[in-house]
Amino acid sequence: MNSFWTGWISFIVLGSIFGCAWLLWATRKSQRFHTETEETMGHTFDGIEEYDNPMPKWWLWLFLLTIVFGLVYLALYPGLGSYKGYFGWTSTGQWEDEVAAAKAKYDPIYAELAATPIEELVQNDDALIMGKRLFLNNCAVCHGSAAHGAFGFPNLTDNDWLYGGSPDKIKETITNGRNAAMPAWESIVGVEGVKDLAHYVRSLSGQQNIDANKAEAGAALFQANCVACHGADGKGNHALGAPNLTDGIWLYGGTQQAVEMTLKAGRNGVMPSFKQTLGDERIHLVAAYVYSLSKEEKQ
C-alpha cells in the first residue's frame, strides 16, 4: 500500500474514532444530557410521543468502551497502512508464515513424488488425489471438474490428443502452454467452397446428411489447402496441434453449421503456461492425474 492510501485510511479511521469521542463530550456538556424531562421531541405517530431524554447510561458506557477498544486494537495490531502495532502482526506476515510452514511440510513430499515416473505415479492413489486437487484449483475452470471439457476446451478423459497424450507431452503442454491457430478460409475458397469443405470434412468421420457432390468438390479443396496441417488422410498432426478429423470428436462442434463456422472464421485456442503458477514438481502431479484419466483407454 502506498503512502497516499496509508495516510487516507489512517485519517478516516482515527477521524471516525475521535469524532465519536467529541460527539459524546459535546452532548455531555448539555444539562439535558443527564437530566430527565417531560418535554417531547415535538412529533407524534399513531398517538405515541417521544420524550427528549438522555441516552441510557449502559449505552453511553458501551459507546465509550468501543472507542477505547478501537484505540487499543490499533496500538496492538496493524490498522493504519503498513503500521505493524505492538505485536508486529500483519495479515501479509501471517500469510507468509503460513506459506513458509506449508512449503517446509509439503515440498519434501512434492520433491519425492516428482522423482517418480508418471507411469508409476498413476498407481499411487495419494499422488493422484494431490494431482486432482491441483487440477481442480487450476484447470477445472476450463476443462470442468470432471475434465470432460467444454466448447473449445478439450475433453481430457478420452484418448484424443491435439499435441499427444504421452506423459512427456502432457507435461510439456502444462509447462509451456499451447497456442493453436486455425486460419479463416472463406476469403480463399469462397462461400461455396466453405460449404463443400464442411461436407467433405464431416464425411471423414462417417457423419450423416452429407451431400456427395459437395463432398467431392470439398475433397479437392482439402487436398489443396488443408493437408499441410491435417494430413492427406485427415488424421491430424500432433506436432502442430492439428486435430484428427476422422474420429468424430469435435472441439467446436461437428454439425454442418459448426464446421462451416470454423472454416469461415477460423479458430484460436490458447492454453496458458503453468510453469510460474505451479512449478515443475506440482506440474508433474497434475500431468500424472491427467494421464490417469484416459490411461485405461491407452492400455
Is pTM beyond 0.85 here?
no
How far, in whole angstroms, is CA 26 from its chain's centroid?
A: 52
pLDDT category of residue 34 using cuts at 50, 70 and 90: low
Q: What is the pLDDT of residues 234-291, one digit of tens each?
A: 999 999 999 999 999 999 999 999 999 999 999 999 999 999 999 999 999 999 999 9
- Residue 256 has phi, psi (to 5 degrees) of -60, -45
pLDDT at 91 over 80: no
CB 155 within 8 A of CB 293: no
Looking at residue 82, the DSSP 8-state letter turns out to be T
Q: What is the pLDDT of residues 249-263, one digit of tens each?
A: 999 999 999 999 999
Domains and CATH numbers, the chain: 3-76 (no CATH), 105-177+272-298 (1.10.760.10), 180-271 (1.10.760.10)
In angstroms, the CA 110 to CA 61 distance is 56
Grid cell at residue 7: 495516510
More confident residue, 184 or 38: 184
Q: What is the pLDDT of residues 169-219, one digit of tens each?
A: 999 999 999 999 999 999 999 999 999 999 999 999 999 899 999 999 999
